[in-house]
Copies of this chain bind each other. A is one copy, B any other.
Amino acid sequence: MEFVTGVTQRDEWSIAELAGAPEHSRGKIRGAVHNIRDMGEISFLILRRYDGLVQCVCEESNSGVSLRTLKEGATVEAEGVSHREARAPGGTELCLTGLRILSEPVEPMPLPISKWKMHTSLEALLNNRPISLRNLRERAKFRIQETITRSFRDFLYSQNFTEIHTPKIGARGAEGGANIFKLDYFHHPAVLAQSPQFYKQMMVGVFDRVFETGPVFRAEKHNTKRHLNEYTSLDFEMGYIDSFTEIMEMETGFLRYMTEELKKRCEKELKMLEVDLPDVEKIPCVPFTEAKELVRQTYGRPIRSPYDLEPEEEELIGKYFKDACGADFVFVTHYPSKKRPFYAMDDPADPKYTLSFDLLFRGLEVTTGGQRIHDYPTLSRKLKDRGMSEEGMDQYLSAFKHGMPPHGGLGIGLERLTMQLIGEDNVRETTLFPRDMNRLEP
C-alpha cells in the first residue's frame, strides 16, 4: 500500500537560500524566463519567481548551455554554482552548468512585462490581465493587498472576533435600493448580497464579535474610478459596545497593526511602488455637518447636497486635515439619518443624525460603519416610520426579539483601501480581475 505523509522538501533553492549558500555551492533554482541579455560570449538569464528575480550567468563555451533558443515566458530549472556578485539582484548569481526546460510558450508576450514600467493603458493591462499581472510592479500591489487582508484577520483574531462565512445568494438585500443583482434560484427570485450586514448582526448574538472577508455585489450604474460592481469587503461587527467610538477605535487598532505588518512583510513591495505608509498614530474625528461647513468656509465651496458628502467634499476634507494636522485618515461622524439605512442607530442627542461614521483615507471614503439599533421596538418603529414592511425580515428581526447586545460594526472596501495606500487613482488598478459595467472578463 502506498502512503502520502506530508510535504517533501525539494532539493532546490529559494532566492534567500541561494543568497545564503556558501560561495561556489552547487544547486538548482526554478523560475520563468523574465529576460535574456546576450552579451556575446556571456549571457544573462533573469528568472522570475514568487520571491523575486534571480540572475543566472551563462558562458556558453564553458558550460555547454545555450540560451539561444530560450524564449521569454518559458519555465526552467537552472542548475549551477553560486557566486557573490554585488550587481545581481539579492547579491548572488548562479553560474549555469545546466538548464532543463519545464514548459515553453507558443507566442511572444503581448506586453513588455519584464520592463520596470509597462507604459501601457489601463485598458490594455486589463484586457491582458493574466499576462500584465506578471509584471513585478503590477503583482507587488497584490502582495500588499494580501497583507492588508491577512492583518485584518490576525488583528481581529487577537481581539476575540470569530470568522464567519455568510451566504451570497439570498432572498432580499440588506441595504435596499436599486443597486442589486437579481437571479433566478430554482424558479424563485433571489439576489446577490450587497453586504453581509444582516448576517453579521445576527451572528453578534452568537459569538459577540464576528468578521468576514468576502465578496459583495453592487449593481451600481456608475462607471467611475472608485466604483466596482463586485469587490472584497472586510467586515466586522462587535457586541457589548458602550459607544460607537469603540468601532472607530477597533478600526484604528487594525490600521496600526496593518502598517506594522506591511513594514515587516512587504518591505520590498513598498519600496518598489514607492509607497509612503500613512500616519495612523491618531486619527481626527469631525462631525458631518462641521466637516461640510469647514469645507465651505475654508475652500469657498457651496453646500449643494446637505445629506451626503460629494466626492469633491471628501477630497477637501482630506486636504483640510492633512494641512491642519498631517492626518492621512479622517473619521467623519454623525451622518444624517436620512441617508443611512434603517438599522443605523439615531443619535439620542439629535435623531436627525446617526451614531455612524465614514473613514476617509487621503480624501476618499474607504469605510462605512456605525452603531446599530439593538432593541426590537425601536427597530420596528423605525421600519414603520420609513414605510418599510417587516415582511421577509422575520429571521433578522427574530434575533432582536430574542435579545441582542448593543453593537455596531463596519465594512472596509479592500480594493479602495489598497488603492489609496499605494497612491493609484483608479480602483481597477488594485483589483485582480475587476468587474464594472463594461467588464465581465477576464
Contacts and interface: CB of A to CB of B under 8 A. Distances in A.
A348 to B, nearest CB: 15
Interface stretch (A56-64, A80-88, A98-106, A360-368): A98-106
A402 B167 CA distance: 37
- Main SS of the interface on chain A? mixed
Interface in A407-436: 414, 432-435
B283 A4 contact: yes
Given A4-B283, A208-B49, A405 B128 contact: no
Contacts of A219: 186
Interface residues of A, number: 124
A24 interface: no
Given A162-B50, A396-B130, A375 B249 contact: no
Contact of A4 (B3, B192, B245, B377): B245
Interface in A208-264: 208-209, 214-215, 217, 219, 221, 229-230, 232, 239-240, 245-246, 248-250, 252-253, 256
Nearest to A329: B4
Interface in A166-211: 166-171, 181-186, 188, 190, 192, 199, 202-203, 205-209
B181 A183 contact: yes
A417 to B, nearest CB: 13
Contacts of A402: 73, 105, 107, 109-110, 130-131
Contact of A106 (B183, B230, B249, B401): B401
Interface in A139-159: 139, 142-143, 145-146, 149-150, 153, 157, 159
A91 interface: no
Nearest to A440: B171
Contacts of A281: 5
A75 B240 CA distance: 8
A168 B431 CA distance: 13
Contacts of A434: 167
Contact of A405 (B103, B131, B169, B256): B103
Contacts of A22: none
A133 B250 CA distance: 25
A162 B143 contact: yes
A285 interface: yes
A79 to B, nearest CB: 14
Interface of A: 1-8, 14, 30, 32-33, 49-51, 71-75, 102-107, 109-110, 128-131, 133-134, 139, 142-143, 145-146, 149-150, 153, 157, 159-160, 162-171, 181-186, 188, 190, 192, 199, 202-203, 205-209, 214-215, 217, 219, 221, 229-230, 232, 239-240, 245-246, 248-250, 252-253, 256, 281-286, 324-325, 331, 374-377, 392, 394-396, 398-399, 401-406, 414, 432-435, 437, 440-442
Given A128-B398, A142-B164, 14 more contacts: A1-B324, A4-B252, A4-B331, A8-B249, A33-B403, A50-B207, A104-B403, A128-B395, A130-B205, A130-B399, A168-B168, A169-B230, A171-B440, A171-B441
